[in-house]
Structure 1
């Protein structure tokens, strides 16, 4: 196994990492594509915006289930071809979505998208260690995880613009073309990636890491941070509308600034976390615990909101790479354990996205938009406490 990993690193390197990053960009952009297209999708297919919203809800929930299932079904297959197959499926799902004439068909195709999201992330999240030398694993992991932030900054707005120019179907066609190009890049640039699982396979390889206390603590931190973030961020636009001195143009600019800060935060955390993993994660959690309630009180006007939104982006941009690093450090020394932890990470992450939106929505309906931000901040504060106490768990 040592010889295989060393050969893989030499044969893979930065081009392979870049191809995997393009894959994560593709699945996240596809997942988020309906955000700016719900109205035209609903009008074209004759359904309400709420019903069209199922195209956003379904993939995340499916991905939470698909991550461990795809990892289990992949068995001893070469991970290069598993990734290529998943990206090929994503290509087909996007192209067929562009031709959908019924909301039921479109939602069914989004189920396939959820399978691709869960499978790609479960494999890609821990792949850097097999592609580059140990000293480059941190930056390589940051690049792979940058797909989340870059998709938010470039992918989703580009899809929205394509939809505005040529209709929502054009956006899905374009994304199908991107997914096809990434499929080819993965096939050409990835080295052979033999399965890390032992010959007997089994679901225990996916769920086995749960027997390790630091893994359970790490997953709890992921659940709290991501749920808290999305409890507040799902309603960030109405939250910003409460701030004196803001208008629609400024809010759009602030959301772009948030995305750009997220990209920067991803790479900053990727650089810091190998040296100070616990301190980096604690700083991220503490920043989120402060920023959301501060924005809820609408203090500081437009300038204050700008600073808070940028800080929010910087902090949340580092969540994925910092929590993944913590989990990888806690991986038990067993065959297939890294993939098992990655699958659990993706499941909990996607479940937390849906849970955060649900919790935030209930709070908004029962109280106010500011209440959702306070709840988000409270969950982030609780996560900071778990990081502090969990540092003693071995």
Structure 2
């Protein structure tokens, strides 16, 4: 019997061991590191722009670059890696993360920044597309949905904790040190993944056919398409506004770097609550959960747009925003896997591709609006996009009941 098979049998008979939870923790930290690295420019946008000699809008486009590369990479990961050990694949991806962040830290201008963000996009596409698929293979069946919540919590924590952390490091030691810190963490996590995870060969799938055929059939599944449309609008809305949250707060309320870091930390804390609350609810009712999150995003960005010169409104709005957006990654992920049983790797790759393409679109849209007409129009545009997501979810279809839950595997 293979090591991975032995691990699964032991889990089924005796429950999840401490070592297996440690393996989950390393996967969580890996998703946290890659997505934080992608979004790190958000928290250090203005000093980073000054250091590179470019505008904040152009600096924000670095998220567009990473998002586009990830959007291309993630859907083809299952096809390219074939039967390779998933443990080795994600470890190599973390090495790429270290390289990408290291290049960003030493970039003298926009050209090397572009190269570094391309490398980072490849790493992100690999890790994010595989994390939520390998996580339930590491634990007992009854903990599978929780393992997915944990794995995806790294994605949520990146925007809600990673960005404030990067802001604090950047304000204290400089934005280049912030990127160098995550370069070092990527190298350490590569070693941890290699030695703490068991061998993870390609999972058996009851679905026959090629990857291309699997992806085509997914795009003919109404619940999958509906979920992707909702996520695309919500993520575009979020990143149109959130990529430029630092200048939004600086211009509207006059907050300085320390105050903004504290506000983003509050956003992070509420976001973590949102992630695990949404994970528990989405395991049973993914569509209703995501729609509730969409409503929260509409309201929170609307508050910021309506009272953009009020410090109190900014704090409340950003806190609610974190609570709502913090649950989107896990809610959307469970919507996908419950809509495409037996094709988890393919649907996750497709989901991550749409998610990250929407990050790219949101960052680009936000940068264009910010540079041309300012923060007020930017916030109202983001609120309108989030409202479109809510409407699409109401009229669309979700996964059928009784096919998900704790059997995510």
Alignment correspondent of 1:321:
330
How far is 1:231 from its partner?
Answer: 2.8
**Which 10-residue stretch deviates more, 360-369 or 372-381?**
360-369
Alignment correspondent of 1:118:
125
Query: Quick check: 1:291 aligned with 2:322?
Result: no
Contact 2:239 2:362 in 1 (8 A): yes
**Alpha-carbon separation, structure 1, partners of 2:261 and 2:162:** 15
**Which 10-residue stretch deviates more, 101-110 or 307-316?**
101-110
Alignment correspondent of 1:371:
377
Alignment correspondent of 2:389:
383
Alignment correspondent of 1:279:
288
1:347 pairs with 327, 350, 353, which one? 353
2:32 pairs with 17, 21, 25, which one? 25
**Alpha-carbon separation, structure 2, partners of 1:94 and 1:127:** 25
Post-superposition CA distance 1:339-366 (Å, at most 9, x none): 1111111111111112223334455566
Contact 2:31 2:128 in 1 (8 A): yes
**Alpha-carbon separation, structure 2, partners of 1:342 and 1:181:** 26
Alignment correspondent of 2:95:
88
Give the TM-score normalised by the residue count of structure 2.
0.83
Contact 1:263 1:317 in 2 (8 A): yes
Query: Quick check: 1:14 aligned with 2:21?
Result: yes
Post-superposition CA distance 1:300-339 (Å, at most 9, x none): 9443443222111101111111111111110144xxx111
RMSD over equivalenced CA pairs, Å: 3.2
**Alpha-carbon separation, structure 2, partners of 1:87 and 1:108:** 17
**Alpha-carbon separation, structure 1, partners of 2:61 and 2:366:** 17
**Which 10-residue stretch deviates more, 115-124 or 91-100?**
91-100
Alignment correspondent of 1:258:
267
Alignment correspondent of 1:148:
155
Contact 1:205 1:340 in 2 (8 A): yes
Contact 2:86 2:200 in 1 (8 A): yes
Pick closer, same or farther for the CA change 1:140–1:197 going to 2, 3 Å: closer
How far is 1:110 from its partner?
Answer: 2.0
**Which 10-residue stretch deviates more, 197-206 or 225-234?**
197-206
Contact 1:197 1:205 in 2 (8 A): no
Query: Quick check: 1:215 aligned with 2:224?
Result: yes
Alignment correspondent of 2:404:
none
How far is 1:212 from its partner?
Answer: 1.6
Pick closer, same or farther for the CA change 1:387–1:54 going to 2, 3 Å: closer
- Unmatched tracts of structure 2, length 5 or more: 401-409
Contact 1:64 1:118 in 2 (8 A): yes
Aligned length: 390
- Unmatched tracts of structure 1, length 5 or more: none
**Alpha-carbon separation, structure 1, partners of 2:301 and 2:193:** 39
How far is 1:149 from its partner?
Answer: 3.6
Alignment correspondent of 2:407:
none
Pick closer, same or farther for the CA change 1:4–1:382 going to 2, 3 Å: farther
Contact 2:27 2:131 in 1 (8 A): yes
How far is 1:370 from its partner?
Answer: 2.9
**Which 10-residue stretch deviates more, 113-122 or 130-139?**
130-139
Post-superposition CA distance 1:69-114 (Å, at most 9, x none): 2332111111111111111222233334445556433421321110
Contact 2:287 2:398 in 1 (8 A): no
SS in 1 for 2:133: coil
Post-superposition CA distance 1:226-282 (Å, at most 9, x none): 112223333444554676x76436544322211221122111111222233332222
Give the TM-score normalised by the residue count of structure 1.
0.86
2:213 pairs with 204, 220, 233, which one? 204
